[in-house]
Chain A
Amino acid sequence: MAAGTALEAMTMATAEEIAARELETATEEFSRVVESHRPQIFRFLLALTRDADLAETLTQECLLKAHLNWGSFRGESSAMTWLMRIAINLQKDHWRNRRMQFWRRARTNAVDLDEASEWLPSGERSVEQQLLARERVGQVWKAVEGLSERQRTVFLLRYVEEMELSEIARATGLSEGTVKSHLSRAVARVRAELGGRR
Chain B
Amino acid sequence: MSLRDQFGEEPNRLAERTEMGGDAMAPELHPIDENLSPGTPELGEALKNFRASILAWSEAEYSRPRTAVKTVRQRSWRLAAGWALGCVLVAGGAGGAVYERHHRQELARMAAARAAESERLVAAERARVEEEDLLAKVDSDVSREVPSAMEPLARLMAEDEAK
Q: A residues engaging B (CB < 8 A)?
A: 35-36, 39, 42-43, 46-47, 52-53, 55-56, 116-121, 133, 136-137, 139-141, 159-160, 162, 164-165, 180, 183-184, 187-188, 190-191, 194, 196
Contact = CB atoms under 8 A, between A and B. Distances in A.
B39 A196 contact: yes
A116 B62 contact: no
B49 A120 contact: yes
Contacts of A47: 54, 58
Given A46-B61, A194-B43, A140 B50 contact: yes
A159 B61 contact: no
Contact of A121 (B45, B50, B52): B52
A187 B6 contact: no
Nearest to A191: B43
B101 to A, nearest CB: 28
Main secondary structure of the interface of A (DSSP, over half): helix
- 8 residue pairs, one from A and one from B, having the closest CB atoms: A119-B57, A43-B58, A184-B35, A136-B46, A52-B61, A140-B50, A120-B53, A119-B53
30 contacts: A35-B1, A39-B6, A39-B7, A39-B58, A42-B61, A43-B54, A46-B57, A52-B61, A52-B64, A56-B61, A116-B53, A116-B57, A119-B54, A121-B56, A133-B49, A136-B45, A136-B46, A137-B49, A137-B50, A140-B50, A141-B50, A162-B12, A162-B51, A184-B33, A184-B35, A187-B36, A187-B38, A188-B35, A191-B40, A196-B40
B85 to A, nearest CB: 12
Contacts of B68: 56
Q: Which of under 10, 10 to 19, 20 to 34, or 35 or more describes the interface residues of B?
A: 35 or more
Given A162-B14, A180-B36, A183-B36, A194 B54 contact: no
A46 B53 CA distance: 12
A47 B61 CA distance: 12
A190 B43 contact: yes
Nearest to A187: B36
B39 A191 contact: yes
A138 B12 CA distance: 21
B34 to A, nearest CB: 9
A184 B36 contact: yes
Query: Which one of B6, B53, B60, B66 has the greatest number of beta carbons of chain A within 10 Å?
Result: B53
Contact of B52 (A120, A165, A187): A120
A137 B53 contact: yes
A63 to B, nearest CB: 14
Contacts of A117: 53
A175 B106 CA distance: 70
